[in-house]
């Protein structure tokens, strides 16, 4: 296996040095570069093979959120957002920008290494309870932005989202609802009386069908498509998408 190629993006040299020291001792991780702002991160990822960027939020020239948008739009790397602040708005903005993970800078070295491996493997890095909290905030803002004509009515669903949702089998929709509820594969398997390997297959298939990178983006899709409304439980979502 080739090592996971990491780019460190932080405006503080000591922070970059600290993360580099923690990661460089891992045989399966290769720190390929260090940059001091988001613009340099975007340029480096465009010119060099990078698997994961550890991206600070607050940086000069181009902040981490906007840099993440550019990197994920170009498909040049996956992004883990790093911050010293445990704030919902950073979580929310990072997910909307396309980040695959969120990590506080005071995380244990083992957690940092685990995060890199998880995101490089295509997994999202958010605890289920955090995922639910942040995605519901996302959905509420989405509703506000779309400004439905009728007061209290759900926002209209785009034809694109409708087609993608219709491409799912009934069982894949059930699994997506469980994902949106913050359930792990093991919990989904237990609740739906399935083998965990079967759940993993359903998750992989539905991610491909709805054209998203990971579980966090799948949860965003569940709300954008109208499969689940903000504040709604998994059981209440069984009525299907809204029009």
Please give the pLDDT value at position 90: 75
φ/ψ (deg, to 5) at 228: -135, 140
Q: 38 and 147: one domain? A: no
Answer yes or no: are the C-beta atoms of 192 and 178 closer than 8 Å: yes
Q: What pLDDT shows up at residue 220?
A: 79
**What confidence score (pLDDT) does residue 239 get?**
43
d(CA 40, CA 67): 9
Asked if residue 140 and residue 85 are part of one domain, the reply reads no
pLDDT at 156: 67
Domain count across the chain: 2
More confident position, 109 or 219: 109
Q: Are residues 135 and 232 in the same domain?
A: yes
Structure confidence at residue 225 as a pLDDT band (50, 70, 90): confident
Distance separating alpha carbons of residues 79 and 48, to the nearest angstrom: 15
Residues 142, 227, single domain; the answer is yes
- In this prediction, residues 194-219 reach a mean pLDDT of 88
Mean pLDDT of the chain: 83
Task: Based on the fold, state whether residues 155 and 71 are members of the same structural domain.
Answer: no
pLDDT for position 157: 75
Q: Which pLDDT score is estimated for 243?
A: 40
Residue 211 or 85, more confident: 211
Residue pair 218/206 in contact (Cβ under 8 Å)? The answer is yes
Determine what percent of the chain is predicted with pLDDT higher than 70.
Answer: 78
Q: Examine the domain organization and report whether 69 and 172 are in the same domain.
A: no
Confidence of residue 11 (pLDDT cuts 50, 70, 90): very high
pLDDT over 90 for what percent of the chain? 47
Here the CATH number for the domain that contains residue 20 is 3.40.50.2300
10 plus 119 within the same structural domain: yes
Question: Are residue 173 and residue 218 in the same domain, yes or no?
Answer: yes
Q: Is the pLDDT of residue 15 over 80?
A: yes
Section 144-149 average pLDDT: 55
Sheet strands side by side (includes 4-9): 29-35, 4-9, 52-56, 78-83, 101-104
Which of the listed residues 125, 158, 191 is the one where a domain comes to its end? 125
d(CA 184, CA 176): 11
pTM listed for this prediction? 0.69
Q: What is the pLDDT of residue 96?
A: 78
**Per-residue pLDDT band at 28 (split at 50, 70, 90):** very high
Per the structure, the complete domain to which residue 34 belongs is given by 4-125
86-145 pLDDT tens trace? 666 677 788 778 888 888 888 888 888 988 998 888 777 765 555 656 666 666 666 665
């Amino acid at each position: 296996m080739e090592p996971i190629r990491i780019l460190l993006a932080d405006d503080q040299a000591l922070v970059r040095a600290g993360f580099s020291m923690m990661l460089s001792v891992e045989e399966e991780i290769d720190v390929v570069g260090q940059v001091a702002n988001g613009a340099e991160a975007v340029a480096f990822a465009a010119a060099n093979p990078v698997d994961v960027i550890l991206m600070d939020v607050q940086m000069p020239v181009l902040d981490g959120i906007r840099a993440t948008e550019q990197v994920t739009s170009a498909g040049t790397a996956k992004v883990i957002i790093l911050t010293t602040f445990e704030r919902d708005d950073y979580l929310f903005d990072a997910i909307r920008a396309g980040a695959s993970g969120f990590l506080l800078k005071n995380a244990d070295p083992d957690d940092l290494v685990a995060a890199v491996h998880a995101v490089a493997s295509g997994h999202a890095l958010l605890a289920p309870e955090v995922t639910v909290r942040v995605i519901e905030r996302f959905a509420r803002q989405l509703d506000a932005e779309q400004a439905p004509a009728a007061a209290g009515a759900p926002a209209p669903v785009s034809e694109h989202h409708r087609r993608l949702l219709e491409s799912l089998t009934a069982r894949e929709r059930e699994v997506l609802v469980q994902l949106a509820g913050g359930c792990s594969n093991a919990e989904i398997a237990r609740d739906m009386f399935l083998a965990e390997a079967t759940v993993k297959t359903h998750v992989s298939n539905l991610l491909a069908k709805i054209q998203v990178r990971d579980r966090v983006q799948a949860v965003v899709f569940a709300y954008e498509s109208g499969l689940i409304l903000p504040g709604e439980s998994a059981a209440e979502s069984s009525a299907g998408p809204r029009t």
